[in-house]
Structure 1
Amino acid sequence: MASWQMRGVAAFTRLAYRRRFLSEEAGHRTLHRAKGPSTPPSGLAKRFRLSVDRAHGFDVHRLQAGAKPSETVVVYLHGGAYTSEIVPQHWSLIADIATRTGCDVYVPIYGLAPAHHGLQALEFVTAVVTSLTASGRRCYLAGDSAGGGLALLTAQATGPTGIAGLTVLAPWLDLSMANPGVDAIQPFDPWLSRPGLRPIAAAWAGGLELTDPRVSPLYGDLTDLPPLQILVGTRDITLADCRTLRDRLPLTSALTYHEEPGAIHVYPLLPVPESRAGRDAIVSHIRSCVDY
């Protein structure tokens, strides 16, 4: 591994082990932390045609890699426990997807908790996807962590028409986090734990039951989903619900499922050795679902 990557691993490990979600108090602090900017890093303007619009009430950024708009687009939904803004690691993966697939990538910047809640985000992202498909473009949905949960919710809400495929990276599938399998994984997850996520889940539900299928896709309709890819590490508490989702899907589902041994949360975004293989898998799945 290159020295820069080693430094990145060390820096990230220090960050991860701060355990921002260790306690409910820590979760409340994260929930009420000031939000940062959502604009793409300035360096992306040298590589892509960038644009932004607010046709549906929130910013939607677009990265266009080719000389003209692509027929199929990727809609990427960032993670951050529904309360943290998009960060450079997200933009790095988004840029990689645009470069290596040739697809335009749309990035809806949904409102975050506590000022916003799950039904607002689902309405917004669904409107973005519906508008794109109505214009004749196919959409491939992708997202990590909270964004992965929202991507699956969007696929459930819009149906398979016009949806080419779906990738979710360690998705937050159940706001209640009731799966007993979490108990065995949580001691080995250096980043996430139930106590700190509980106040965030309650804020995001906005008065709904945590198991309402409009905010927790594990309880929603799992039939007629587009080709689905799930990537998750084995040191990640989302693993328990990823396994449940895998097992609940109809046998006829087009599923690509991968557990990365020893990997932590959303590993394809991170400066860790497993990241490149994870990104390769994402790009390969998009290409397999897109008609060139």
Structure 2
Amino acid sequence: MASPELNDILQMLKDRAQAGAANPPTLAEKRAGAEAGGKAFEDLSGITTEAVDANGVPSEWVVATNADPNRTMLYLHGGGYVIGSIVSHRGLAASLSKSARARVLSVDYRLAPEHKFPAAVDDAIASYRWLLDSGVDPANTVIGGDSAGGGLAVAALVAIKEAGLPMPGAGICLSPWVDMEALGESYVTRAALDPMLTREGIQAFAKEYLGDADPKSPLASPIYADLSGLPPLIIQVGTSEAIYDDATWLRDHAMRAGVDVTFEAWEDMVHVWQRYASKLPEAQLAMDRLGEFVNEKLGSAVTSAD
């Protein structure tokens, strides 16, 4: 049974959706709202942050006191490639740093419509090259992301392979968006359950991001990419999500390519519920599972202190 806290979050999300429908916000207001919404749930206790320039890409180290200095996560925020930032997702990065016991480099990749595809992919690769140049061990590194960032994480892994760069040790995909055309039946079958995402909304984001690019481009829609050779992936998705089919398609496509996939469908959870870990028990449980996955695939942290 879902926690009482989930009902509170669902009501908050429904209220936001209704307010947005009644008075559609500008792009600037959407971006400001995303940052304010993220701040409302962030818990930065035991966290230090440091702004850095990662090969020209504004980024931020988010590091928990228990993080292993030799374990790194490159994190790519969600927001449809149009909104979202290191500010909106600082709380999520902090939770991941604590659970995975990793230093998290949160990347402020360029957004559409100002910067269209493949700008986000280029920035993700530039920041990964920066990590490699700084001496980070790729085998002890994770690339992760949520929603659009989850799809971008997969695209980045594909681009890393194509560039002949050392592959990270694992990948994390939270409610990943991997189909620019939004063809999944779950946009219809789960429409009444999802207070955040609609097919029309996703397609609008895709139009802003793609411009004239092919929606089936493998680095835009990774379900069309060659995923062979990718590291172990964990995919978490809520059963109430309109984007649910994207997660199952990614799972199936990756497994057919021989990728080691851990797939978790969380009953009744909403889009990227993990970001509410400071107040939602199911979100913290999901974070705990992510930490277990990272420990399993990279090996337990040995140099950090509890």
Taking structure 1 as the reference length, what is the TM-score of the superposition?
A: 0.84
**Retained in 2: the 8 A contact 1:22–1:195?**
no
Aligned residue pairs, count: 285
Q: Percent identity?
A: 25
CA distance in 2, matches of 1:185, 1:43: 31
Taking structure 2 as the reference length, what is the TM-score of the superposition?
A: 0.81
Deviations 1:232-278 (A, max 9, x none): 01110111121112222235321100111111111211243421221
1:137 aligned onto 2:137: yes
Gaps spanning 5+ residues in structure 2: where?
A: 302-306
| Aligned residue number for residue 274 of structure 1 | 282
**Retained in 1: the 8 A contact 2:74–2:104?**
yes
| Aligned residue number for residue 211 of structure 1 | 216
CA distance in 1, matches of 2:143, 2:64: 18
CA distance in 2, matches of 1:285, 1:6: 27
- Tell me: CA distance 1:16–1:147, structure 2 relative to 1, closer, same or farther (3 Å): farther
- Tell me: CA distance 1:205–1:21, structure 2 relative to 1, closer, same or farther (3 Å): farther
For the aligned residues, what is the CA RMSD?
Answer: 3.2
User: Where do residues 152-163 of structure 1 align in structure 2 (5 Å cutoff)?
Assistant: 152-159=154-161, 161-163=166-168
Aligned partner letter, 2:183 = A
Structure 1 residue 117: Cα displacement: 1.9
**Retained in 2: the 8 A contact 1:50–1:61?**
yes
Structure 1 residue 143: Cα displacement: 0.8
- Tell me: CA distance 1:34–1:260, structure 2 relative to 1, closer, same or farther (3 Å): closer
1:118 aligned onto 2:117: yes
- Tell me: CA distance 1:261–1:11, structure 2 relative to 1, closer, same or farther (3 Å): closer
Deviations 1:152-179 (A, max 9, x none): 1111110283401011110111111022
| Aligned residue number for residue 179 of structure 2 | 174
Structure 1 residue 13: Cα displacement: 2.2
| Aligned residue number for residue 252 of structure 2 | 247
- Tell me: CA distance 1:67–1:288, structure 2 relative to 1, closer, same or farther (3 Å): closer
- Tell me: CA distance 1:50–1:215, structure 2 relative to 1, closer, same or farther (3 Å): same
CA distance in 1, matches of 2:152, 2:136: 23
Structure 1 residue 19: Cα displacement: 2.9
Gaps spanning 5+ residues in structure 1: where?
A: none
Once the two structures are overlaid, the 10-residue window that deviates more, 152-161 or 258-267, is: 152-161
**Retained in 1: the 8 A contact 2:194–2:240?**
yes
1:59 aligned onto 2:58: yes
| Aligned residue number for residue 228 of structure 2 | 223
Deviations 1:26-55 (A, max 9, x none): 5xx4646463497997984x7344322224
| Aligned residue number for residue 260 of structure 1 | 266
